Structure 1
């Protein structure tokens, strides 16, 4: 579940950083100083909103998680990330173009908002990781409940979660890549 949340964090963050960096170049209608200050406020607000929205739904789904059965189809981390990013690439590109275009009115603000959304997703994935560690179970969304584009991990189609041990799969709690120890 945290993998799906975390899949959009890196692209949003990096596209936002690039858009903010390029967006500082034009003077804009408001001027650079006001644009950067507004962007900082939008960064914080965007990160807070994304981090806190639908937390109750995530917690309720986690409380009702059932043990993954033999016939549940669970997807690898790399596949989940690739499917989500391919399914949302046009939305990411559109968001980047809007953030870059808004720099002519308010320099860097749109890019900083986009980066804040990515940071908020990363914080939400970290919160889910802490939830998984306290329950000592990895939370999974069945693949058939996600749509072709990667879906929403707490959307209407998701009726419940599946749980496995923390050593299962290739994802660590919080959706990060599992680090394997080097064999000596």
Structure 2
């Protein structure tokens, strides 16, 4: 980057990037996985899957909140020469870096259906729901502080790792209107021109 600037990716976008693929992979695996009777039977499998869904969603949504909040409190203003990465680029990098994990997770969820129908797919869907809830919480944190949170791309690793991982030593902040993603990592809605 020119003059010491850094490439920055939105924290909420990195968190949210895995939500949709995990949700859909899990939903499809749960649907297909409900077909076999399995060892436990369909009813027990679906009930166990529902419990796993709720536990996974809650666990993922609540995990590392203290670390995110501490990093947010210590966020410094982004520099003049820092480059803000587009939302689409951040999402694409995360999904490329994790595509094999998504495929393996989907295959494991389908395979587990022969033992406990639908449970593995519902677990994956719960992880996706938890990521979405965590991104929504980050959006509320950003709105409260009127600051969008960014992390250095080189600290995320080659394919977009964890935005609150050990390699991340601090976050940067910008005004609420910066970048092309709204608080929480959703696409920014622009008013239609009349």
Fold similarity call, TM over 0.5: yes
* Structure-2 residue corresponding to 1:20: 30
Query: TM (normalized to structure 2)?
Result: 0.93
Backbone CA RMSD of aligned residues: 0.7
Q: Does 1:69 align with 2:57?
A: no
- The CA deviation at 1:145 is 1.4
Displacement of 1:142 in angstroms is 1.2
Deviations 1:76-110 (A, max 9, x none): 11100000000000001000100010000000000
Aligned residues: 184
SS in structure 1 of the partner of residue 173 of structure 2: strand
Give the C-alpha shift of residue 74 in structure 1.
Answer: 2.7
Structure 2 spans left out of the alignment, 5+ residues: 1-10
Post-superposition offset of 1:146: 1.4
Any residues of structure 2 matched to 1:120-159 within 5 Å, and which?
120-159=130-169
1:47 aligns with 2:70: no
Aligned 1:92-171 pairs, distance under 5 A: 92-171=102-181
Give, in whole Å, the separation in 1 of the partners of 2:40 and 2:119. 11
Conserved 8 A contact 1:6-1:125: yes
Deviations 1:161-180 (A, max 9, x none): 01001111000000000011
Q: Deviations over 1:6-51 (max 9, x none)?
A: 0000000000000000000001000000000000000000001101
Contact 1:74 1:143 in 2 (8 A): no
Distance of 2:90 and 2:57 partners within structure 1: 23
Q: Which residue of 2 aligns with 1:81?
A: 91
**8 Å Cα contact 1:72-1:142 kept in structure 2:** no
List 4+ stretches of structure 1 deviating above 6 A. none
User: What's 1:36 paired with?
Assistant: 46
TM-score, scaled relative to structure 1: 0.98
